[in-house]
Amino acid sequence: MSVTDTKEFIRMETAADKLGVDLVKLVRMMQDKKMMVRLEFPADRFENIRWAVHGKKMWENELDEHLIGDLIVITLEGMEVLERHLLEGKTGIDLLNGLELCVETNSDVLLSIINRELGHPPPEISPNSENIIRAYSLPEALLEKIKEKRITQPRLVIQTHDFEQLKKPKTTIESIPENAILKILTGKELGRIKALFVDLERQDIVPKGTTDKIEDHFTVSALKEPSPENAEPIAWLGKKYEGVYFLKTLSDREWFLGNDKEQSCHFVFGGKPLKRTGYPIRETEDLSRIKEILSQHLD
C-alpha cells in the first residue's frame, strides 16, 4: 500500500501537474514556504522489505547501512540537492546521492499534525539532528530487487495539506505609486461640485467638458485615490486672481480639503500650477463674477 492511497499525501508529479508547474518549480515553491518534500519507499505485497540506505549520520565519518521507514522527510538542505538532481533529470534511486534525509519518530509526526491543525508552520529540523542521514545509495540487496523490478522505486510525495496551501491564489496588493497625483478630497457631494463647474464652463472660466471629468480630480472617500494617469489638470481660463480667490474660498468653506500642493496639481493657469497662496489679491481686481458664481452654490 502506498501513502498516496490515503488522503494524507499526493504524488509530486500529480501535484506539479495540477499546479501547472514542473517538479523543480514545485520544490522551489515548497522551499519558499518551508514545506517538506518526503520520499516514499513503497511497501510491497509480495516482498517483506526492510528499507535501508547506505550513508552516514551527521556526526559519523564512516558510511554505514541505516534502517529507515517507508516515508522519509527530506531536509531543507536536502531539498537544494534534490533540486539539482531534478534539473539533471534524475528519478527514483538516482535521487538519493548526497540527499539529506530525516527519519521521523512518532512524536515528530504527532507534533507536525498538531502544528498543522493549529495553523502553525511545521517545526524545523535542526541541522545537527541525530536523525539526519546523508544518503548515497541503497544497499546492494535492495538495488538488485529494484533492477529486477521486484520492488517499486522510491518516489517523491507531498502532504495533501501543503498541496492545498500551494493551490490558494496569491493576494496581490497594488500599491499607489509615490509620484501618483491623488484626487482632492471634498467635503461636499460630487453632484454639487459638478453643478458649480457647469456654471464655470458657461462663463468660459474652465474648458468645455471639464464637468464630465470631475471624478478624475475629486473624491468623497477619505481613502487615498489616485487620479487616472491620463487625467489632465483643469485649465483655469479666467483671471488668475479669480482662480486664487476660487481656491481660497472653497478651501475655507471645506469644499476642497488638503493643502495647497495637493490641490494645485489639479489646476493650471498659463501652463503652471495654480496655487491659492503666494498671490495677494489687490483691491483693484474685480472679483464680482467669481463671487456671484460662488454665491449661487455655497451654503
Q: Which of 131, 136, 135 is nearest to 107 (CA)?
A: 131
What pLDDT, on a 0 to 100 scale, did the predictor assign at position 127?
Answer: 46
Query: pTM of the predicted model, to two decimals?
Result: 0.49
What pLDDT, on a 0 to 100 scale, did the predictor assign at position 254?
Answer: 92
Q: Which of 227, 219, 159, 166 is nearest to 32 (CA)?
A: 166
Helix axes 23-32, 12-19, angle to 10 degrees: 90
Number of C-beta neighbours around residue 48 at 10 A: 6
Residues (pLDDT < 70) of the chain are 1-6, 42-49, 54, 58-60, 67, 69, 103-131, 148-151, 170-172
What pLDDT, on a 0 to 100 scale, did the predictor assign at position 245?
Answer: 96
Q: Please list the alpha-helical segments (H only) found in the chain.
A: 12-19, 23-32, 76-87, 106-117, 140-147, 160-167, 190-202, 240-252, 260-264, 288-295
Judge contact between 39 and 101, C-beta under 8 A: yes
What pLDDT, on a 0 to 100 scale, did the predictor assign at position 16?
Answer: 93
| Cα(118)–Cα(266) distance, integer angstroms | 51
Judge contact between 3 and 43, C-beta under 8 A: no
What pLDDT, on a 0 to 100 scale, did the predictor assign at position 1?
Answer: 47
What pLDDT, on a 0 to 100 scale, did the predictor assign at position 95?
Answer: 83
What pLDDT, on a 0 to 100 scale, did the predictor assign at position 58?
Answer: 64
What pLDDT, on a 0 to 100 scale, did the predictor assign at position 126?
Answer: 47
The residue with cell 451654503 is: 299
